[in-house]
Amino acid sequence: MVVLTAKASKGKIAVILLILLSIAALLIVLCTHAEKGAAESTAVRAATNNERVAYLESFGWELDPKPAETQEVRIPQELPEVLQKYNTLQQSQGFDLTDYSGKTVKRYVYQVTNYPDTADSYFATLLVYDGAVIGGDVSSAAQSGIMQGFAYPGGTTGQSETQSQTGQTGTSSRSAQPTA
């Protein structure tokens, strides 16, 4: 049997432990930063009007590039029932408004000019926080109109599954979005 012994003072042990703790803290910071960077890289940039319009057009929508409405809205700490239903639509698109509870976000509304098979007015709404899309919808201006996700209905750029999955037909877009 071989026994190794080392003579170390309390000071040397303390320095070694301090170095090991520093390395561990550095690794934690680097891993957290890498995860945050990965999340930011998947966020859809919408800091400029051109980025917002391009995002909506990527679904097949044609729209007036000048926002019909721009305002700041606050997402409540606890979502009331109507916003919980609206958040269900957002979750079906990969967004979640509960991540922004208590935060003030920008709401951009664009008039859609190519909603299929209707003469009604439709609007695309984007919710933007810190220059990134965090949610939105396409909805009819009619009181009994529909609200759906960004997917173009029945087109090659997407499907309108979001509307039927979340039961948003007949929901006014004005009552289901965060208010100022």
Better-predicted residue by pLDDT, 42 or 73: 73
Helix (H), strand (E), coil (C) string for 64-128: CCCCCEEEEEECCCCCCHHHHHHHHHHHHCCCCHHHHCCCEEEEEEEEECCCCCCCCCEEEEEEE
pLDDT surpasses 60 at 135:
yes
* pLDDT tier, 177 (very low <50, low <70, confident <90, very high otherwise): low
The domain ranges of the chain are: 10-42, 49-166
pLDDT surpasses 80 at 179:
no
Indicate the pTM of the whole model.
0.66
